[in-house]
Structure 1
Amino acid sequence: MRLKTFVADSMTKAMDLVRREMGEDAIIVATHSAQNGRSVRLTAALEDDIGRDQQPAPASAADDEDDTDAPDAGTAIEQALAYHNVPLPLAARLVAAGARFASAGTVAALGGALDEAFTFQPIVERLQVRPLMLVGPPGAGKTIAAAKILTRARRSGRAVAAITADVKRAGGIEQLQAFTQILAVPFAPAGTAEELIAALPQKNGTLTIIDTAGTNPFAESEMNEMMELALAAGAEPVLVLPAGGDPGEAAEIGERFAAAGVRRLLATRLDVSRRLGGLLAVADAGQLAFADVSVNAEVASGLAPINPMSLARLLLPDFPANGSTPQSSEAS
């Protein structure tokens, strides 16, 4: 990670400097007022080891074109958030926050607003200490997400092990087991808290990924069972949720899982979803940090960290000013 500090006499000018020197992938990690009270010090970070081909979506060239017919940054952000069905109170906060960075361009303005509104904590396998337990409603994509994390961890050289608590669903054991056999990763099923404790690897330094059965967030017994498993394993529960859901429903899901101790969100199916308001709603309602996103079905390369700028690009594809069907910013 490359860090650089910029000093300017306003936040807008500091953001301009960041964009020019570090590009739109830079993450704002700290802002301070200088001791004299007449300038702003801003620290930005850039992940050098993450290639552009791993980003959830490429930047749109439209932001840098001189197009007199294009809407201003505030209008473009407002239109995009409306298209994605972002809840109105959250959309209003983002538009207001984006106005402070408007001179830096539309993507940078929305990125700055997202950076203020949300936290971003990617899963870094080489640094993860506690086991990761993937939880979420049925059909959210937890098993495939587990396989992607295992694959990425193996590539980084981390020792890993896999456990599935999804022992009742037909094929629940076999699906993850098939991936672990390909990766040559230790695997065990565990249907109870006692079995889960016994299945945890004894070797220090091994990262354990725990897949779970689908949990109905509105069923108290299922949520209690999930929390019991996480407590027994000493695991960090990470919510896995597909994009494209209803924002109101997503917000309630986020609140329920947050109350159960979940602090991070891993979003799936971004490649087949057009409206992402549900993801913003679940993170906002549950105060969940964005971790990673699943951007395609490929187990070997389909998981990527996300930051405010890459999320802004996902929300700001090239779409007509009237808010009709957006056009993908990806090159065809």
Structure 2
Amino acid sequence: MSYQTFKGATVDEAKRAMRRALGPDGVVLAVRRSPSGGVELRAIQKGQPLYKGEGGTGGGGLFGRKPQREEPAPAPSLGGLGEPRVSEPEIVPERPRREESPVSALRGDFSRNLARDHGSDADPLLRSWEQKLGRHGLTPHLIRALVDEAHDHGGRGDEVEQLAHALSRTLRFAPLNILRDVPIMLIGQTGAGKTSSAAKIAASAAAQGGRLAFISADVGRAGAIEQMQTYADALDTRFWAVEEPRQVAQIMRQERPGEGIILDTPGVSPFASADVSAVRAFREALGAEMILVIPASGDVGEHTDWVSAFADLGVRRCIITKFDASRRIGAAISACYQSGMALAYFSEAPFIADGLIDAQPDYLARRLLMDVPARLGRGR
């Protein structure tokens, strides 16, 4: 990485250290509180690629690096990015469940009904997970579904393995294939982390030898254009600011961008007809797959209403952000379970270069069972 880290008691002090090292061309990528006290700032010199030792645009991709493989492995699919959903929502088939004999099915129904009649005291696993998962705000219905899947699995493995298996059977996991040159469009409420998620996706593509350019329709938020321009400069990629869907169509027609496109949108409400109309118009102008960005914590009822409403608009997967700033992550997880929304990525770090984490059952199981939240994975 070609970024540098600067520390100080205050943001101004860290910025002064940055200017001494990088001069007037230094640009800030991210700022956070340092675990040892004070603040920590990451910055890069304007025009400098994010990754060291790589320059130019010839040869294998954005920084001259050849991809590690000729063809990227296909992403776990909900249609993937190869088929933009611009008309009817894709119907995602239910996972096939393993066949059970009539006797085993009867035994399962009987034992579950018995546990319900006697409460969690009759089921040690239910009692344990009600305590451990309930503190995250997971709904009782989701906890019960996870316990049932763990019992069906025969209780094999340790608790993390049991929960990972139950999550894999209960939730949908579908990371993006970011090396496919098909546009994506990030939508969600203000402050959810759409802009930083766009930059993290682009950084992940750059690390794999790909190229993603930015279009931002978030022109009304203070500093939004400057923030996206900073990310574009750091990643040595292109950036357009737009106000209307017709401008997006014009860019695609006149510029004919050869790289993939990420469209960053302003905060929208799925309950406001004007916002819904704008979202649909931008999607149709770009031919993009819509990806919901939603913070991990919050009111579970509010999250469920929002995710379900976006699912009704044709959104099929989401990025859950702010794992690093959330002690309880159950609101977003429960909302996705309720609506059938697939999980694409998790974000547990504020720094762009740290990237996003592919949504996987084992990571989520460990995060849910931790006594004290901590960073568990590295972005790709």
**Residues 240-269 of structure 1: CA deviation (Å, up to 9, x unaligned):** 011111111110001110111111110110
Residues 77, 106 of structure 1: 8 Å contact kept = no
CA distance in 2, matches of 1:254, 1:153: 27
Match of residue 142, structure 1, among 166, 179, 194: 194
Q: Which position in structure 2 is the counterpart of 1:281? A: 334
CA distance in 2, matches of 1:330, 1:142: 20
CA distance in 2, matches of 1:266, 1:290: 6
CA distance in 2, matches of 1:268, 1:75: 29
Segments of 5+ residues of structure 2 without an aligned counterpart are 1-71, 74-94, 101-122
1:163-312 superposed matches below 5 A: 163-200=215-252, 202-204=256-258, 206-312=259-365
Task: Give the secondary structure class of the aligned counterpart of 1:312.
Answer: helix
1:84-123 superposed matches below 5 A: 84-101=136-153, 102-123=155-176
CA distance in 1, matches of 2:130, 2:158: 14
- Deviation for aligned residue 1:33: 6.5
Q: Which position in structure 2 is the counterpart of 1:327? A: 372
CA distance in 1, matches of 2:373, 2:234: 34
Code of the aligned partner of 1:153? A
Code of the aligned partner of 2:278? E
- Deviation for aligned residue 1:123: 2.0
Residues 133, 212 of structure 1: 8 Å contact kept = yes
CA distance in 2, matches of 1:285, 1:227: 24
- Deviation for aligned residue 1:231: 1.6
TM-score, length-scaled by structure 2: 0.64
CA distance in 2, matches of 1:272, 1:99: 33
Task: Give the secondary structure class of the aligned counterpart of 2:174.
Answer: coil
Code of the aligned partner of 1:327? V
The number of equivalent residue pairs is 260
Over aligned residues, Cα RMSD in angstroms? 2.5
Q: Which position in structure 2 is the counterpart of 1:57? A: none
CA distance in 1, matches of 2:147, 2:235: 45
- Deviation for aligned residue 1:113: 1.2
Code of the aligned partner of 1:163? I
**Residues 106-126 of structure 1: CA deviation (Å, up to 9, x unaligned):** 111111111111111112212
- Deviation for aligned residue 1:285: 2.6
**Residues 277-314 of structure 1: CA deviation (Å, up to 9, x unaligned):** 11112212321110011111110013111211111111
Residues 190, 199 of structure 1: 8 Å contact kept = no
Residues 161, 207 of structure 1: 8 Å contact kept = yes
Task: Give the secondary structure class of the aligned counterpart of 2:284.
Answer: helix
Residues 142, 211 of structure 1: 8 Å contact kept = yes
Residues 185, 283 of structure 2: 8 Å contact kept = yes
CA distance in 2, matches of 1:212, 1:72: 46
CA distance in 2, matches of 1:303, 1:263: 18
Code of the aligned partner of 2:323? L
Q: 1:305–1:30: structure 2 CA closer, same or farther, 3 Å change rule?
A: farther
TM-score, length-scaled by structure 1: 0.73
